[in-house]
Amino acid sequence: MEIGKKIRRLRIQNALTQEELAERCELTKGFISQVERDLTSPSIATLIDILEGLGTNLRDFFNEIEEEKIVFTKDDVFVTENEEHKYTLNWIIPNAQKNLMEPILVELEPGGKTKEDFPHQGEEFGYVLKGSIYVHLGNKKYRVKKGESFYYKTNHNHYISNAGKSKASVIWVSTPPNF
């Protein structure tokens, strides 16, 4: 972290000149200038005074919050293929397994099916973008067509399969992450 640059940014956000900040902290304008250019480092006591003059404190000043990524592009997608079961998984949100839910895009070739998943905590949702699929839950199967969705608790063995003669595409969301 570049302390001087961050102090300067806060000073400007507070519409203060170096001289005004220096007066608030009982320091000199020259010292504030040197701190902002990282030519000198203030003691902890002096840094606390500067931060109080800027309306903040040590904890908030050093609490770096990483900006959350909101929009993901095709360049962010991670793809795996399973030739044996004739499907492709597209992780459309990278590292989603660290989140509360994990969305993927599943593409199933005709006759394709995902691997069977066993009961676990959570719920799953899907929306069929293209083609038609079967959702297999325990001994039951449900047909889901383009434009339709499915939602279930994951207390049975489950998987999806392609019910048609053309490729099927499904947005599938698992919570907690399980793919």
What contacts 135, CB < 8 A, 6 or more positions away?
Answer: 126, 141, 142, 144, 150, 152, 158, 160
Report whether the peptide linkage leading into residue 176 is cis, meaning its omega lies within 30 degrees of zero. Answer: yes
The pLDDT score that the predictor gives to residue 66 is: 63
The pLDDT score that the predictor gives to residue 177 is: 80
Give the whole-number percent of the chain exceeding pLDDT 90: 85
3-state SS, one letter per residue, for the chain: CCHHHHHHHHHHHCCCCHHHHHHHHCCCHHHHHHHHCCCCCCCHHHHHHHHHHCCCCHHHHHCCCCCCCCCCCHHHCEEEEECCCCEEEEECCCCHHHCCCEEEEEEECCCCECCCECCCCCEEEEEEEECEEEEEECCEEEEEECCCEEEEECCCCEEEEECCCCCEEEEEEEECCCC
Q: Which domains are assigned to the chain?
A: 3-62 (1.10.260.40), 74-175 (2.60.120.10)
Indicate if the pLDDT at residue 170 is higher than 80.
yes
The pLDDT score that the predictor gives to residue 152 is: 97
> Does pTM top 0.85 for this prediction?
no
**pLDDT digit string (tens) for 28-86?**
999 999 999 999 999 999 999 999 999 999 998 988 766 778 899 999 999 999 999 99
**pLDDT digit string (tens) for 97-127?**
778 899 999 999 999 999 999 999 999 999 9
Query: What average pLDDT does the segment 165-174 reach?
Result: 96
